[in-house]
Amino acid sequence: MNKGRILAIDYGEKNIGLAISDEDQKISLPLKNYRRKSIVEDINYIKELVEKRKIIKLVIGNPLNFKREESEMSGKVRDFIEKLREKIKIEIELFDETFTTKEAEYVLREFGFKEKKMKGKKDSIAASFLLSSYLESLK
């Protein structure tokens, strides 16, 4: 396994949740949510993050449905990945993100956050759960 940081992406229609690993790929830390603007600006933002943080791999959540089948959003994620691959020349892997947003909402509620305050945080926490699961799968 190559050492280096991995960036996890929880792709949504309004926000992109982001989380980053340490160089040893042992821990996952949520980053600030990114509010989507346009596909070009979104990809440029991620490209800058990849360069600035020396990311070696992107892990992007695949929002499967409850039957663990591809959802409508899965198709949008795949389109996004195609556009990312045109601009970012590192490995990109799709990984099951089922229930990560629900887990993030549960954790935030446990810490006393109300629904309105969760909006700016839950996507990146979901990305952090996604990344933690991915890092576990590498062991």
58: confidence class by pLDDT, cuts 50, 70, 90: very high
Calculate mean pLDDT across residues 16-40: 95
pLDDT of 135 higher than 70: yes
Taking phi first (over 0 means left), then psi (-120 to 50 degrees means alpha), and beta for anything else, what does residue 68 get? left
Tens-digit pLDDT profile for residues 63-101: 887 777 787 888 999 999 999 999 999 999 999 887 666
- In this prediction, residue 35 carries a pLDDT of 95
- With beta carbons less than 8 A apart as the criterion, state whether 9 and 60 touch: yes
Superfamily of domain 5-138: YqgF/RNase H-like domain (3.30.420.140)
Residue 71: phi and psi, rounded to 5, are -105, 175
- pLDDT at residue 119, rounded to an integer: 65
C-alpha neighbours within 13 Å on the C-beta side of residue 38: 2
* E strand segments, the chain: 5-11, 15-21, 28-30, 34-35, 55-62, 91-96
Checking if the pLDDT of 108 tops 70, the result is no
The closest alpha carbon to 25, from 9, 7, 4, belongs to 4
Give this prediction's pTM.
0.88
- Of residues 84, 19, 82, the one with CA closest to residue 47: 84
Residues in a beta bridge with 71: none
